[in-house]
Amino acid sequence: MNFIHRSDGTYRFHRSRTDVAECDVLAAAEDILRRRLERHGSVSKPTDAISFLRARIGHLPHEEFHVLWLDTRHRIIAAERLFAGTLDGTAVHAREVVRRALEVNASAVVLAHNHPSGVAEPSHADRLITRELSSALGLIGVRVLDHVIVSAGASVSLAELGELAN
């Protein structure tokens, strides 16, 4: 991507002879937000991850379930898509989330998925999977800090709604 980072913290696009596809712009935005999160050092509140997650999955036409794997200081170990679904849902398997948490040696996680409908409000199923994953991950000492639901224009943090017992 032909973005030039300036010393004042802004970015300038270096024009080329080729057209820039929307996916390239979104990939660049995701990269910028990821670097900003890495510089910040840790995820200490929901807003630290929301912009990154909205750029990463808010625009998708199908549901995806992602996890930010965090170490003991809540620094990002990895940000990964674990499951992809359809227009209005995705199957999330607790055993796969637990398996991956052990593989990356995570101490905490931020769960995230998108709502392609544009409505970021949590559904009953969203609340159920949050409780199921919190319980399963809790058995291996991994804390769920948040479950963020994003769409192109909105986001909701279940932690901010008081729906996560920490």
Taking every pair of Cα atoms in the chain, the longest distance, rounded to a whole number of angstroms, is 54
**What is the sign of the dihedral through the CA atoms of 39, 3, 67 and 152?**
positive
> 13-17, 23-27, 56-60, 121-125: which range is least confident on average?
13-17
What pLDDT, on the 0 to 100 scale, is given for residue 117? 93
Bigger pLDDT: 19 or 117?
Answer: 117
What pLDDT band is residue 139 in, cutting at 50, 70 and 90? very high
pTM for this model (two decimals): 0.77
Q: Domain 42-157 is classified in which CATH homologous superfamily?
A: Cytidine Deaminase, domain 2 (3.40.140.10)
Are 51 and 29 contacting, i.e. CB atoms less than 8 angstroms apart?
no
What pLDDT, on the 0 to 100 scale, is given for residue 20? 57
Mean pLDDT of the chain: 84
What pLDDT, on the 0 to 100 scale, is given for residue 56? 86
CA dihedral 84, 87, 88, 90 (to 10 degrees): -10
Count how many Cα atoms sit within 13 Å of the Cα of residue 6 in the half-sphere of its side chain: 7
Burial 47-80 (b: 16+ CB within 10 A, else e): ebbbbbbbbbbbbbeebbbbbbbbeeebbbbebe
Contacts of residue 138, defined as CB under 8 A and 6 or more positions apart, other chains included, come to 144
Residue 38 has pLDDT above 60, yes or no: no
Q: What phi, psi does 99 have (nearest 5°)?
A: -55, -45
Q: Tokens 């931020």 — which residue?
A: 110
Cα angle 39, 42, 46 (rounded to 5 degrees) comes to 115
CA distance 83 to 5: 33
Residue 7 has pLDDT above 70, yes or no: no
Domain regions of the chain by residue span: 42-157
Residue 36 has pLDDT above 60, yes or no: no
The three-class DSSP label of residue 66 is strand
117-137 confidence digits (pLDDT tens): 999 999 999 999 999 999 999
